[in-house]
Structure 1
């Protein structure tokens, strides 16, 4: 690979922004779609309406979509539920009940009313199956008594639920009880109720996940004491973007139906990665019915946000469906000076090519323009917190951050029969970050407020992230029982092109009277020893397979593995000297085994045990300038899961242990010849073990609850860098005790238009160890704390609702990120309120 040319010119900031004209056009299109949706009138009792239909025989899925579109109703179901099933069609005049009965005759499926309106499709079992069969000649949709657990869709939009019984992170649509690992689902309802606008906020409301503020915009995510290093988008694996420094990754939750969070290794489907876990970001899909959703909110510190979301069938038979969305946000922050504007555009189409084959494609654009505040606050020289207002800003009024993410995605699904389905999905994500900012750094004299020096940085980051996954899922009979198999292949490619420049002394700053420093010239920023170009390439390829084999009716063996290759290369060049460096690491035919046993105790409870290996390449260099050998390890987990009320309530309890060896350790005995910093050795050993417990869903009639508790003990077993640390906490970003709670209760009777919500984030002490005891302070510590939130909601009428959210109800003063003695300590938000108006048509 050729090194970077020393003649490479500096790229001026790329203003890749959505223009006002494009925004206006998208707004007009969404509004027009919404107007068309609202123009469709339906009677007060749609179930009793009779209409004429002419739906030919063929595949069941497209026929149901066409029926829903013609009837003007909401029908939600996972495509896998109708895979391979056909219908005799529907002709003549029918009510909803008789129409569903004829279309679903012999399919073993039924359509049932959904809380909040519309219908959902599920498997009919027991008495419900008999009721569905006898309903063919009925004229109204009668009550269905369910006597056995029925399958529910993984789609959470419109469910009004804080849980989902099924997830798609394991390829196909699997129930939580079919996956022998810990999984949390943050549903669309939770995101709307709690105003979880960003992926950061979603994860900060999830069981066992903590975050750490990056020095370049984004956040790092941790679980069980380990970093999340991989993502999935609709099951397509991607590398977590690699930057010259920090992380600028950020994403708006407006795009997603749900976020599935798997804690523990995901090597079976993902390949190399951290044992902390992975995320599956599941996008919203087009709906068969025409819908239009609008929201507008206003909150503390001039925070304004509005969204438009239009979806529905685009032709008469419902075979072509589309969805378009627009989100706009303008806000300031609780700290001085900083502000941002963000716009999100989203569009997708689905088309049924035939009764057995469908395709989907879409695009999303996220555009952010901000005056940011990074770097946080320092500490006093003795390690104590500085005594300043939470609004203190030590940055510059010329700080700037422009972030753009453009995503193209597509998938194809082909149903061979009612047993086997092939799916191929791919995506390309292009991200750019242009940023120039300053912040004050240095330990503070508590009496005078002196000690800080303003620094300035310039970053110009670009990366292109590509992913592809092809899998075959199916069922077959063996030993007189139904078995399941998944075979697949996936690949990911990440390429980065980064420029980093910095000036470490813009003059002194006083913490008690911070003044914006002067803006340095481009020449000043570039002509320092810090300035460098770098290009990185990360490539993964793999084949995987997993079988879910029923050995007996209650006992399932889950057995699989992945064979993959990994390539990492970095080329860098110093701007001033032209000095070049290149390093690469390759690993091939790495096998990651995966195994588990699941035992169904009864129809509600199951217990499980699982094991998988851990393989994680690492980018640190040894004294010879070579990459360290990969981290190896193992993960063992055992637990129990429960599912009740047709999947409306789910519980889980898990014990886990993760062992790692070959972890990078700073080699203080070597010269600082690894890119200007200490080199490392692959000699650390860590064990992380603990307990996960979670309950989610409708615990009482009208009461939605999400509660997750995690106990984590993450300790060094070997630490040559500092043997006194053996037996001590290895990663303090994850506190030992962490509890996340969110509840929403719809009042009964005449007060049913009102909702009351209450939530809390509670954690024990956390701390951050200083590099080598900087300034004589070994670590920065924060006691445990609790932050409470509240919500009051009101359903104005069938279409409109309003809600008031109050976060940090008791105005707790705490740090959301604990950093070093010199910088990176970030206050959590003070008490704040948001009023939201939402309409659905």
Structure 2
């Protein structure tokens, strides 16, 4: 008897080759018939127009893209890129209601968001913290302090977010081998298009967006686009809320048939009535079973940030298919905050307060030449470029002179019981300037029809200046090497391998107030990629290994670094030796059918100390509050026939249990978060050709979980069940 036709969902599962048991410490993989899956895929008719060879995702209704260049600046498809790549497209951001970068990262394969305060977070991947983000390919570092300033960007101005997992030193220079997050801005269009959307949701949350684009002259050589968004966000907490405003404008001018000039600016302002710290556990780390709405701060707390960007690009296309590309981005970042955090004195819970102001200015410049060369009868590609980025940070603040603040009873605390205090704003100061200059070159060699080799190198000069000789340093002519090999098995599948050097200067201080030496290391990745429907569906599987040496390790919290200006509570660090991260990375993203967009990804990562000054740490997990298993699925399906105005969708995010521990003896503590799964649902209805509606239900099973487990006095609960209804009118 002939076997029944396999469903698209079965195909997806077969291609992904993973259904992880996230509650276990080991995964099992069942063998599936690749031949059956391929035959079934070939039967399906998918319209891939607008995907193949095109980077822009807007108006493609796709969950994937045709071109990415965040890894090497060579315009390559996902299959041609010898690293793990994910793209969160405009359509996916709209379907899931991903309104800022935090939302995007939560739904990206292999990445997670770790909260260590109500408005403080870090992004982690492959065992390490992401310390570089890019705007249109121009990198900006995220340091210990600047991550508080660079607020989560509003996604209304982005066409897509490209994420390359692993080390990306060829394009970024200094950085952790975690991931590169490249936010690609929307570009002006020749054809006029206008959209207006409005949303309303739980806890009195409201959002509006306006997006207008089109030609500014008769022949379309001058184009412009304007985007604005405003959001009033309520909160599930007893106290809080806030608002966010975004203005984005961009113009594009064809100076002649071969030269295009782009100039734009954006401004994002976030005001949040939010506190500095989170909630407590018991002194041993046990959960106190507090309500998720509990607020143990004060009604005068706030957390205000703003970021302003001025950017431009100039591209000239030569007659021989070579191209000159010049780009610049200048950012001004600001934060003003006043808030409180908790601390234990024995078993008594006390509140401490502080007020801080940071300014964080960033300049990033890049220029490169790219084009084809002919050698030994074959066509190859070459990129040669140079970059410069500069950061200036100036922070100051103060805290109360009292040794301890008011005592806190979590069950009876009144957020209006403490008067707004005053502070000596120069009890703590920190200033630094950093500059990284680099030159780079990369080439894709067409060795044979099925074999491509990518070789690249980068030379960097790094200067970090605090105004204090012992904590300032320079690095001259650091070399970063890159190599990748791609071999096409057939028209569908390719094998690949890649290698990247790791180089990461550190700002952490040892007890003598000297900066630790840079971290170095190596990044290896081997995998297989496939594409179907002319690139409308991409699948990949990879194994990786990362070795990073000379990592900073925080010393006991009772040890502090001295400051020449004032005795402050800087944490002290030492070189911790070597960390090794190993894992697997699986992803399937794109169209399963003409009406079905689908994305699924699974990552297993295990980062352990390989060498350490404390021999007892060797073989132990490097960062225990990073999940080892991550499984994420997102899908949208447009119903057929007479129901084609309806679409249904949802997402699932699952991770294994994690923990954080510290102290010793009777002061030892351990905070645990069990494995959990979050489920979101979406229902959409197209009222007319111009009007579309959508409702998103988030955390539909109202799972209670920690989104951050920083310490016994700073845990953060994830959002309870909530919903958002949206309507969008498009011209």
**1:518 corresponds to 2:410:** no
Q: Are residues 145 and 643 of structure 1, via their aligned partners in 2, closer, same or farther at CA, if it must alter by over 3 Å?
A: closer
Contact 1:339 1:370 in 2 (8 A): yes
Question: What's 1:505 paired with?
Answer: 404
Give 3-state SS (helix, strand or coil) of 1:384's partner: coil
Question: What's 1:764 paired with?
Answer: 656
Contact 1:692 1:711 in 2 (8 A): yes
Question: What's 2:251 paired with?
Answer: 349
Alpha-carbon distance between aligned partners in 2 of 1:733 and 1:423, rounded to the nearest angstrom: 41
Alpha-carbon distance between aligned partners in 2 of 1:734 and 1:671, rounded to the nearest angstrom: 25
Question: What's 2:175 paired with?
Answer: 273
Choose from 687, 708, 730 the match for 2:622: 730
Question: What's 1:87 paired with?
Answer: none
Contact 2:51 2:60 in 1 (8 A): no
Question: What's 1:829 paired with?
Answer: 719
Residues 583-628 of structure 1: CA deviation (Å, up to 9, x unaligned): 2021010000101111011122111001111111111223432211
Alpha-carbon distance between aligned partners in 1 of 2:144 and 2:387, rounded to the nearest angstrom: 20
Question: What's 1:556 paired with?
Answer: 452
Residues 214-235 of structure 1: CA deviation (Å, up to 9, x unaligned): 4483321110011111121111
Greater Cα radius of gyration, structure 1 or 2: 1
Q: By how many angstroms is 1:172 displaced?
A: 4.7
Alpha-carbon distance between aligned partners in 2 of 1:793 and 1:346, rounded to the nearest angstrom: 27
Residues 722-743 of structure 1: CA deviation (Å, up to 9, x unaligned): 4322211101232110011111
Contact 2:51 2:62 in 1 (8 A): no
Question: TM-score scaled to structure 1, two decimals?
Answer: 0.78
Choose from 233, 255, 271 the match for 2:135: 233
Q: Are residues 669 and 466 of structure 1, via their aligned partners in 2, closer, same or farther at CA, if it must alter by over 3 Å?
A: closer
Choose from 587, 599, 605 the match for 1:694: 587
Question: What's 2:330 paired with?
Answer: 428
Alpha-carbon distance between aligned partners in 2 of 1:417 and 1:539, rounded to the nearest angstrom: 36
Give 3-state SS (helix, strand or coil) of 1:442's partner: strand
Contact 1:368 1:404 in 2 (8 A): yes
Question: What's 2:35 paired with?
Answer: none
Choose from 664, 686, 705 the match for 1:795: 686
Question: TM-score scaled to structure 2, two decimals?
Answer: 0.89
Q: Give the gaps of 5 or more residues in structure 2.
A: 1-44, 564-568
Question: What's 1:209 paired with?
Answer: 111
Question: What's 1:192 paired with?
Answer: 94
Q: By how many angstroms is 1:526 displaced?
A: 4.1
Equivalent residue pairs, number: 678
Correspondences of 1:245-644 after superposition (within 5 Å): 249-442=151-344, 451-503=348-400, 505-516=404-415, 517-523=417-423, 525-526=424-425, 531-571=427-467, 583-644=471-532
Contact 1:665 1:719 in 2 (8 A): no
Alpha-carbon distance between aligned partners in 1 of 2:340 and 2:606, rounded to the nearest angstrom: 37
Q: By how many angstroms is 1:418 displaced?
A: 4.6
Q: Which has the higher contact order (CA 8 A, sep 6+)?
A: 2
Contact 2:529 2:540 in 1 (8 A): yes
Q: Are residues 216 and 703 of structure 1, via their aligned partners in 2, closer, same or farther at CA, if it must alter by over 3 Å?
A: closer
Q: By how many angstroms is 1:146 displaced?
A: 10
Alpha-carbon distance between aligned partners in 1 of 2:640 and 2:346, rounded to the nearest angstrom: 56
Question: What's 1:47 paired with?
Answer: none
Give 3-state SS (helix, strand or coil) of 2:287's partner: coil
Contact 1:396 1:439 in 2 (8 A): no
Q: Are residues 148 and 668 of structure 1, via their aligned partners in 2, closer, same or farther at CA, if it must alter by over 3 Å?
A: closer
Q: By how many angstroms is 1:147 displaced?
A: 12
Contact 1:258 1:281 in 2 (8 A): yes
Alpha-carbon distance between aligned partners in 2 of 1:566 and 1:617, rounded to the nearest angstrom: 8
Alpha-carbon distance between aligned partners in 2 of 1:387 and 1:444, rounded to the nearest angstrom: 20
Contact 1:272 1:617 in 2 (8 A): yes
Contact 1:215 1:247 in 2 (8 A): no
Choose from 156, 160, 166 the match for 2:67: 166
Q: Are residues 214 and 465 of structure 1, via their aligned partners in 2, closer, same or farther at CA, if it must alter by over 3 Å?
A: farther
Q: Which moved more, 1:489-498 or 1:394-403?
A: 394-403
Give 3-state SS (helix, strand or coil) of 2:92's partner: helix
Give 3-state SS (helix, strand or coil) of 1:538's partner: strand
Q: Which moved more, 1:377-386 or 1:316-325?
A: 377-386
Contact 1:217 1:247 in 2 (8 A): no
Give 3-state SS (helix, strand or coil) of 1:512's partner: coil
Contact 2:283 2:669 in 1 (8 A): no
Alpha-carbon distance between aligned partners in 2 of 1:257 and 1:594, rounded to the nearest angstrom: 28
Q: By how many angstroms is 1:237 displaced?
A: 1.9
Alpha-carbon distance between aligned partners in 2 of 1:481 and 1:276, rounded to the nearest angstrom: 35
Q: Give the gaps of 5 or more residues in structure 1.
A: 1-143, 446-450, 573-580
Give 3-state SS (helix, strand or coil) of 1:621's partner: coil
Choose from 631, 646, 650 the match for 2:534: 646
Q: By how many angstroms is 1:242 displaced?
A: 5.1
Give 3-state SS (helix, strand or coil) of 1:691's partner: strand
Contact 1:690 1:713 in 2 (8 A): yes
Q: Are residues 624 and 221 of structure 1, via their aligned partners in 2, closer, same or farther at CA, if it must alter by over 3 Å?
A: same
Alpha-carbon distance between aligned partners in 1 of 2:631 and 2:380, rounded to the nearest angstrom: 37
Q: By how many angstroms is 1:554 displaced?
A: 0.5
Contact 2:215 2:222 in 1 (8 A): yes
**1:181 corresponds to 2:181:** no
Contact 2:275 2:338 in 1 (8 A): no
Question: What's 1:685 paired with?
Answer: 578
Alpha-carbon distance between aligned partners in 2 of 1:787 and 1:289, rounded to the nearest angstrom: 40
**1:740 corresponds to 2:632:** yes
Alpha-carbon distance between aligned partners in 1 of 2:678 and 2:550, rounded to the nearest angstrom: 38
Alpha-carbon distance between aligned partners in 2 of 1:280 and 1:637, rounded to the nearest angstrom: 20
Q: Are residues 725 and 557 of structure 1, via their aligned partners in 2, closer, same or farther at CA, if it must alter by over 3 Å?
A: same
Q: Are residues 559 and 238 of structure 1, via their aligned partners in 2, closer, same or farther at CA, if it must alter by over 3 Å?
A: same
Q: By how many angstroms is 1:677 displaced?
A: 4.9
